[in-house]
Structure 1
Amino acid sequence: MAHAFPTGATRATRPAATQGLRPDATRVLAQAGVIVVHAAALMMLLTPARISLPEAPDREMTVLLPPTLHQPPPPVAVTPRVPDRVPVAPAPVPRQPAPIVAADETPFDLPALPETAAGDASPDMDAGPSIDSAPDLSPMTGASLAYADAPAPRYPPRAVREGRSGTVLLDITVGTDGKPLEVSIARSSGHRDLDQAALRQVLRHWRFQPAMRDGHAVVAIGRVPVDFKL
């Protein structure tokens, strides 16, 4: 098939029209170089990086031990002085009343008595036995209490630490069985913990000998000291 060319066209212009259809070598090489660079960069990204960590320098470790704690010495056991036993005067021997002889209720005949003048008392007549009055069981105040069992009170730990000491005077009401019925402070030692320790010890653990009056045990009220000494 014949192609028609415009008028005035020569053979020199014909290869120039078909020159753009051929591949350009420079352009091909440039594109190939770009592909190679990208491929190299991709391979570098996919290759795992080796990171060398610096080694820790050797250091000397110093172990600090806690200081030794000095414990305080244990408290010194103090044995309180037990009050001396107060001597008690022996109880008086009760006077025995005269025996009363009951009259025989069986009737019998009495012999005739000689007549006497009016107002004359018969020498053989007896006034009869007398009945003694009831014993006095009222409380005995100001009594000297005799100890039956008086263990020393326990020294309060706080008083030991603070070096407290003193004497407590207690008013004690003792029952007929020798047990304290009531205990009160007549004079304080100056420290409340010592006073309370003496009160508790006497009321719970002390025992006394019952006070006697006319052969009968009576309630007695007396004053007793309790010493606390270090």
Structure 2
Amino acid sequence: MTHAAPSPTATTALQPQRIAATSLAIAIHLAAFGLLLMPLANQGTPAPATERIQVQWQQAQPPVPPPPAPPELVRHTPAPPQSTPHSVPLPQSIPVVVDTVDPAVVAAAALALTPTQIQGSPAEPLSLDSTGTAHSALQVLQSPPPPYPPQALQQRQQGEVLLRVSIDVSGKVSAVEIERSSGHRLLDQAARRQVLRHWRFAPAQRDGQHIPAQGLVPINFRIE
């Protein structure tokens, strides 16, 4: 078999062209291979997602001052009040109106208040009613006249009241009833009240023993 030996001159002349062509081919293949590998590389490792961090700025609050210390209690001793003279106004005289009655009329009325003689006499015999009470003359031991009521005196009221007086065994008045009115309540009550409170009689007797009794006492109110 016959082999043709390359000419040294031709080999030397074509070597730079071959090198450039070979380099270009290699570069093209590498670029094509890189393009094929890019999708795989993108699919293998996903790019990390970018997280957005929101930053909010807050204004710093001023520090709260501590509460003020409570004030110290200082006790002040009040000075004793100085006594200052005060002028006290003198009370003015208040006019007082007093209804006066003519003294002559009062005296005449007082003199006319002496009770008239009590009905009956000590010599008359005693009579007994169904209750056993004796009715006879009563001997008066103490008989101050009743005062004339001022209102009745101003209204010129007059009249005679007849009282039924009951006494106990000691002669003390135990009850007074109005047997006949004078026509004026003020006069009737004044006479009844006076006899019941201030009059005193001698005890009534029967067969030497003290017994309760009754009698009629007229009292005349008259203005002279």
Return the TM-score normalized by structure 2: 0.47
TM-score (norm 1): 0.46
The structure with higher relative contact order (CA 8 Å, sep 6+) is 1
More helix by share: 2
